[in-house]
Amino acid sequence: MPDEAVVLTERTPWGVRLTLNRPAKLNALNGELVAALVAALDEAETDDAVRVIVLEGAGRAFSSGYDLTEEAEGAIGGPVAWRELLAADVAATLRFLDSPKPVIAQVHGYALAGGLELAMACDLIVAAEGTKLGEPEIRYGSAPVTLLMPFLIGQKRTRELLLTGDLIDAAEAERIGLINRVVPANALAAEVDRLADRLARTPPEVMGPTKRMLNRAMDVAGFRLAVEAGLDLGAIINAADTPEQREWDSIVRRDGLKAALAWRDRRYDERLAGDGHGSDVPAADDG
């Protein structure tokens, strides 16, 4: 039988629900998934019957971020190669921000690193209770790919999250303005459906320009320049070739991602795991 599609498309009365479909890998974003996601978005944008787009993840999580196994095995090389790779990921993420149609992220389980950036690029985020969110890239020698967070929650909270790599739960994320709503897990899809139905009542000729207005406000505040600067510095960080980065990649290649995450957590003494601030990140299935 053919492999199942990495992005599933479900038609709804208000538009379309796109599902990230690598559940065994916690919907880690690899090249195939990113390309399929952009293609699905392109199709939804050209369909007049689609008023609203919802993005969700299959299985245990929304998305654990970019596929670390793929990166560790890729031997990407110096900052020029890294910047080219990161620029493609940034462009894919910003496609959701720049879509003329409203996009809702339906988040559960985990929304981490590039997965959280993808959710942040959506217009609204609705999360299930108990969801963990954060950008732990600094803990394995990397950096955020698309620098959205400071434009959503401000510098101080962003610095705390990005410099520590800590995760927060959905209730805290709502309190600081990172997400819009928290609902019980069994009510998540219904709440998103209700919100999508409300958005679908606005004509596209009004919704699209309103989104552009909001995006331009971010641009006036320096958003696109910040993203470009983040690309340049992120490429340098990823190509730094520190002993910790080399050890991380070596463990991933030799023993798998679960072992690498355990090594990382020992380094950061995850005694805070489970209190809403520690990493507490599950590993995807290595097989």
| H-assigned helices in the chain | 31-45, 68-74, 79-97, 113-121, 149-153, 155-164, 170-175, 188-200, 204-220, 223-238, 243-255, 257-267
Is there a catalytic annotation at residue 137? yes
Choosing from 56, 71, 137, 191, the catalytic residue is: 137
Residue 50 in tokens: 């689609």
Is there a catalytic annotation at residue 73? no
Q: For residue 47, report the phi and psi dihedrals to the nearest 5 degrees.
A: -95, 115
Torsion sign over Cα 5, 101, 85, 230: negative
> Distance (Å, rounded) from C-alpha 40 to C-alpha 46?
10
Query: What 3-state class would DSSP assign to 1?
Result: coil
Q: Tokens 């879509």 belong to which residue?
A: 99
> Distance (Å, rounded) from C-alpha 245 to C-alpha 69?
13
Contacts of 203 (CB under 8 A, 6+ apart): none
Q: Is 286 exposed, middle or buried (0-12, 13-18, 19+ CB in 10 A)?
A: middle
> Distance (Å, rounded) from C-alpha 207 to C-alpha 61?
30
Choosing from 56, 71, 117, 191, the catalytic residue is: 117
Q: DSSP string covering 200-230, please?
A: HTS-HHHHHHHHHHHHHHHHHTTHHHHHHHH
Q: Which positions are catalytic?
A: 117, 137
